[in-house]
């Protein structure tokens, strides 16, 4: 299966103990592990 995911389409907000930026990076890394392709 192919999936194209635009990095700018993945968004989150700050939660206690972590910033939105760190959560975005973690989410994008998880998506990249599953699909292998991210568009920046």
DSSP code string of 1-40? -----BGGG-----BTTB-HHHHHHHHHHHHHHHHS--B-
> Rounded to two decimals, what is the model's pTM?
0.62
Residues of the chain with pLDDT under 50: none
State the pLDDT at residue 39. 66
State the pLDDT at residue 6. 78
State the pLDDT at residue 38. 65
């Amino acid at each position: 299966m192919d999936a194209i995911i635009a990095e700018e389409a993945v968004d989150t907000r700050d939660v206690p103990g972590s910033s939105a930026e760190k959560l975005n990076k973690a989410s994008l890394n998880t998506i990249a592990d599953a699909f292998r392709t991210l568009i920046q």
